[in-house]
Structure formats: structure tokens, C-alpha cells
Amino acid sequence: MKIESIIFDFDGVLVKSNQIRNQTYFDILSHVPNSKKIIEEAIAEDSKRDRYGIIEAVLQELKDKNLMQFEDLGEETEKYVCRYNWITERKVSIATEVPGAEKSLEMLSQEYPLFIVTGTIQKSIDIVLKNREMQKYFKKVYGGFRDKKEGMTILIKEQRIKQRSSIFVGDGKSDYECARYLSMPFIGIMNETNDFEKRQDVMWKLYDLEKLPNVIREIKENE
């Protein structure tokens, strides 16, 4: 198989940051009594909803239940989103990398163009990559796409690549569904957010990125 490019999700794939992002919703509203359950429900309700959507929904529910008072929902949402971004940018910038991430990126970037498609907003992912000195490995980063299909479709069009000749490395159910929808080879990174270990339909899967170059080589030679 000819490989034209390798595309990565970010959180949970390159850096152990899934828990950081979820926990931050609770941290920014920790001063509000009885907010925990409302936040949990908002996160679980719609996996495609971004941080704006989640925070807006939580704030509206808190106001409806007289747990918070504010005049303008939009302004209040923006205020808490700014807090969320500031905290996550700092924490993810120093979070533990998924083992083998930097080593694999350095090796693979010498042979293939690498991309990121992530739900993290563009400004934040750019800051994090710069702080971690990882931006040098990627030809382009596509941020702000909670719907990975949309981000991937834009990438394919802009970069003029064939999806069947590109590999997507992700850790989410939506990542896998995106790859399957676009007929892209998929490598699943197994962690606490998914059930890839039990699934027979995820052909290539790893616990970390230590052996990623080997799997890429195997796909290249055998497909």
C-alpha cells in the first residue's frame, strides 16, 4: 500500500490529556453547589458538542435551577470558556506524552507528511503544540472539529490526498467511525476512553506509540 500521509487525533493519542480536559469542566464550576451531576450529564449527552456547547448547556441548566444568577448567557459562557482554555492550555502543555509519541513523530515526519485533526480549538492546539515544541512535525493542524468527518474532509480536499492512501491514528469512537466512513486505514490507541481492546473490527491497535512506525511499515508492506 502506498501511504501518502498520516493523520493524528491529539488528546489521548499524542498526549495523555483526555482526563485533563474533562476534569476542567468540573474545576471551573467547583464553586457552584450541585453542579457535578449537571456537568456529567452535559458531557455524556452529546459527544459532538464542543466546549462552548457543553459550558453553555451547563450554565443554562444551573440558571434554570437557580444555582447561578447572571444576565447574559452568551457573555457568561464566553467568560467560562476563557477560563477553560487558559487552564487546559497550561496543563496539556506539560502533560505526560503517550509513550513513544515524540520518537515516532520524529521518525515518521521524515518519510510522510503528518497532520492533526482535533476537536480542540485552533488557537489552543497551536499554543499547546508550540509549548511542547511539537509543531515542527506537522505539515498542518486542523483544530476545532468536534465532527472529525468534517475536519478530515476539509484536510483531504485542501491537501489533495487520497483517503485510502492515508492512515488515521485515533483513540475515540468518532475517530474510528470517521475512518470507516472515509474508507481510511485506522490505528486505534487503546486507553480508558474506548473499548478497542475488545473490538474485532479495529484491525490495528496499540497501547502507545512505541511501535507505531512498525505498524505503519506493516500496513505499507501487506495491504
Residues 197, 154, single domain; the answer is: yes
The angle at the Cα of 217, spanning 216 to 219, to the nearest 5 degrees, equals 65
Q: Residue 208 sits in a domain of what CATH number?
A: 3.40.50.1000
> CA-CA distance, 10 to 26, in Å (whole number)?
22
- Tell me the mean pLDDT in the region 162-169: 94
> CA-CA distance, 194 to 60, in Å (whole number)?
30
Range of the domain at 132: 5-16+96-222
Residue 89 has pLDDT above 90, yes or no: yes
Query: pLDDT tens digits, residue range 189-208?
Result: 999 889 999 999 999 999 99
Residues 111, 207, single domain; the answer is: yes
Q: Is 189 helix (H, G, I), strand (E, B) or coil?
A: strand
Contact 55, 22 (CB under 8 A): no
> CA-CA distance, 3 to 111, in Å (whole number)?
10
> CA-CA distance, 145 to 159, in Å (whole number)?
17
Q: How many domains does the chain have?
A: 2
> CA-CA distance, 1 to 167, in Å (whole number)?
11
Query: pLDDT tens digits, residue range 106-145?
Result: 999 999 999 999 989 999 999 999 999 999 999 999 998 8
Residue 165 has pLDDT above 90, yes or no: yes
Residues 112, 9, single domain; the answer is: yes
This prediction has a pTM of 0.91
Residues 80, 132, single domain; the answer is: no
Query: pLDDT tens digits, residue range 22-71?
Result: 999 999 999 999 999 999 999 888 666 788 999 999 999 999 999 999 99
Residue type, position 170, single letter: G
